[in-house]
Structures are given as structure tokens and as C-alpha cells.
Amino acid sequence: METEKQQNVEVVAIIPARYHSNRFEGKPLALINGKPMIQHVVERARSVKILSRVVVATDDRRIAHCVEGFGGEYIITRNDHVSGSDRLAEAAELLDINEHDVVVNIQGDQPLFDAEVIEQVSKPLLDDPSLPMSTLIYKIIRPEEINDPNHVKTVFDHENNALYFSRAPVPFQRNPEDDIVPTYYKHLGFYAYRKGFLLTFVALPEGEWERFEKLEQLRALEYGYRIKVILTEHDSIEVDTPEDLKRVEEFINLQ
């Protein structure tokens, strides 16, 4: 019976998009090769066969108007959300997504993500009806990312269940003279949630680890929920500043 349920599960992508940002005002509308960044994200998401629907969740009419202009689907959410997950949960409720369906959070500032990563992050929830949440990790190959707090490091067990996420370089190498160097994995901001769990998650009080690290996925771990991490070979460039746009454009022009 559970297998039957799983066969009917839909995978819906929601892209939270805010206009106001401390580091980059109006980021979703920033042009990349003449096209708004949010359009790049939506078009890539639409190429993913596993997705039954792609929706932008925004509190800003300028972003909504832009999405409407290129034929995308959007939904207007409240403007007082503390996090992207809160916006995601409200959107999932407004869209009347089934409790057992999978909701994929695609960051609106990652216009170069590979379509395969959406299938990779969704598959564990389609295979395991008891799994509430999954996310992606990538083996760090650029040494400067290890100590960069903007690149979140991940440690996990032998079954690929997350143990901890940190802005610090974990694991810490106590004896730097050792021949063996730790392998570091960074967290990529793609999440898949069971819709029912997503509503449970955003209703949980802020966790202590979350408060210090400013990483909301730690809330799930602190309250005893399992997060499956999937190692992907596809890195994804995040646009945090106007300077990042140049890097993205250079990458696109090389393709």
C-alpha cells in the first residue's frame, strides 16, 4: 500500500525569491546576459522531467510581474517571513500540495544548477516513504572554501545521514603534520522535504545550534529528524554580490 502511495507522489519545485537583500538589493531581477536571474533559474527547473510544477514564491510585485512576463508561475506570500523555509511552507499550503508529495526548494540565486541535482535530491524521498528531508553536498576542491564561513561544511554517517553542518572547518585536523588530510564537504542549498514534514519543521522553535551558526537545517537535527545527504558531482555557483554575476556570465559564455 505504501509503495502504491509512493508511485503517485508528485515532486513540486518552489523557488523563494525576495527583492530586499542586505548584500544585493533586487537580486532576482539582476540581468545575466540580458535575462533576469530568476528566469534562468525557472527555465533550468522546467527542464527537469521529475518536476510536475515549478512555482516562484515571492512577496514582491516586481518579481511577480517579471515571472508573469516570461510565462512562469508565481504565488504571492507574506512579507514577514524570517527564512526561505517559512516562505516555502506558506507557498506549499497555498498551492494545496498533498501531504505526501515532495517539495524541492531551489534557491533563486543559483542560475547555473545542473538539472540532475534536482533528481538527486528528490530520489531519496521517493525511495523511502519514512524520510522527511534530504539535501546535497559537494566535495570541496578549492582550498579557500574550507575556512570560508559562507561555504557550509557537512559531516555525515556511513548511511549518509547528516550529523552536523557548520560554518567552521569540520572535521578539525588536530595534528596538521599528519600525512592524511581530511576530506571536506560543503552543503549546497538544495533541499527536498515531504510536504507534511515541511509544515512540522517551520513550526519548531529555533534550535540552539541554529541560533549560533545561523543555519536552519540544524533545527531538524536538533529535534531528532533525519536529513539524508547526497553527494553530487555538480557544484553550483551562488550569486551573493554583483561581482558574482560576472563569474556566472563568464561561465555561461564558455559553454
The pLDDT tens digits for 62-94 are 999 999 999 999 999 988 888 878 989 999 999
Q: For the chain, give every domain's residue range.
A: 2-254
| Count of alpha carbons within 13 angstroms of residue 23, beta-carbon side | 10
Taking the C-alpha atoms of residue 168 and residue 212, their distance in angstroms, rounded to an integer, is 12
Please tell me the predicted confidence (pLDDT) of residue 251.
Answer: 80
State the amino acid at position 216 in one-letter form.
E
Fold of 2-254: Spore Coat Polysaccharide Biosynthesis Protein SpsA; Chain A (3.90.550)
How confident is the model over 160-208, as pLDDT tens digits? 999 999 999 999 988 877 888 899 999 998 999 999 999 999 999 999 9
pTM for this model (two decimals): 0.90
User: ∠204-85-237 over CA atoms, to 5°?
Assistant: 140
Dist CA 113 CA 116 (whole Å):
8
- Cα separation of 121 and 104, whole Å? 8
Beta-bridged to residue 63, according to DSSP, are none
For 51-157, strand residue ranges (E) read 51-58, 73-76, 102-105, 133-139, 153-156
Region of residue 214 (phi > 0: left; psi between -120 and 50: alpha; otherwise: beta) = left
Whole-number Å distance between alpha carbons of 180 and 188? 25
**Cell numbers representing residue 45 in the block:** 527547473
- CA pair distance 159, 170, nearest whole angstrom: 18
Residue found by looking up cell 534530504 in the block: 134
Q: CA 48 to CA 75: how far, in whole Å?
A: 20
Q: Could you tell me the three cell numbers for 104? A: 524541492
| Percent of the chain residues topping a pLDDT of 90 | 72
Average pLDDT rounded to a whole number, residues 35-50: 94
